Chains A and B, each alone.
Chain A
Amino acid sequence: GAVVSQHPSWVICKSGTSVKIECRSLDFQATTMFWYRQFPKQSLMLMATSNEGSKATYEQGVEKDKFLINHASLTLSTLTVTSAHPEDSSFYICSARDPRQGAREQYFGPGTRLTVT
């Protein structure tokens, strides 16, 4: 199946700093990618839909000024957590749909574990 990668796989940062997480579709072009957040022992929560060449669409309750999303190319979306605080510590996962696949299944990245100290 199609491959989605994320970088970094884990990151530790100090409170107040910003962290950028990359999501890449390695063997297909994705006009739409999705960003999720997952706290320990909880399910994935959809944060936003990243649209290539246009603004991201955020889910209710997600601060767009805190979680900046940029989808500058058909293979790359970035999530920047600005002014990170300990409560932002979480597992961040992206996904993308391979438009070549008629079945519409999504492929997920391996996730990025963010720890804010």
Chain B
Amino acid sequence: DAKTTQPPSMDCAEGRAANLPCNHSTISGNEYVYWYRQIHSQGPQYIIHGLKNNETNEMASLIITEDRKSSTLILPHATLRDTAVYYCIVRGYNTDKLIFGTGTRLQVFP
């Protein structure tokens, strides 16, 4: 699976959009981009995933660049409860394994 690179930490004001970048320059054509988050001392929570098109659900939007080498997770209106570590993971089509990187620690402040 392709390796991902994320900034170690980010801050965001409550109510503003949080834009979390992820670099996956070695991604191959059949690999998906997944985002999970982990709130302190809990199991990770699925957020969203995509292959090449932008995706949106009730939690977030995922913007994938045309060359698929990077993506951005957007939380449109961050709340204090969005404070967590966000993991960007690249996963092959034929595997269920998730290999976690170091993630981005997002701190939402009042």
Which residues on A are within 8 Å of B, measured CB to CB?
1, 4, 6, 32, 34, 36, 43-46, 49, 91, 93, 95, 97, 103-111, 113
Contacts and interface: CB of A to CB of B under 8 A. Distances in A.
Interface stretch (B21-29, B61-69, B74-82, B92-100): B92-100
Contacts of B44: 44, 93, 95, 108
A105 B100 contact: no
Contact of B97 (A45, A46, A108, A109): A46
A25 B99 CA distance: 21
Interface string B8-46: 000000000000000000000000101010100111111
Contact of B49 (A32, A46, A103): A103
Interface centre among B34, B44, B102 (most CB of A within 10 A): B44
Interface of B: 32, 34, 36, 38, 41-46, 49, 87, 91, 96-103
Given A43-B101, A43-B102, A43-B103, A106 B96 contact: yes
Contacts, number: 53
Nearest to A101: B46
28 contacts: A1-B46, A4-B43, A6-B43, A32-B96, A34-B96, A34-B97, A34-B98, A36-B100, A43-B100, A43-B101, A43-B102, A43-B103, A44-B100, A46-B97, A46-B98, A49-B96, A49-B97, A91-B41, A93-B44, A104-B91, A105-B34, A105-B49, A106-B96, A108-B36, A108-B45, A111-B41, A111-B42, A111-B43
A98 B99 CA distance: 18
Contact of A95 (B32, B41, B43): B43
Q: Which 9 A-B pairs have the closest CB atoms?
A: A108-B43, A105-B46, A44-B100, A43-B100, A108-B44, A93-B43, A110-B43, A111-B43, A109-B43
B96 A110 contact: no
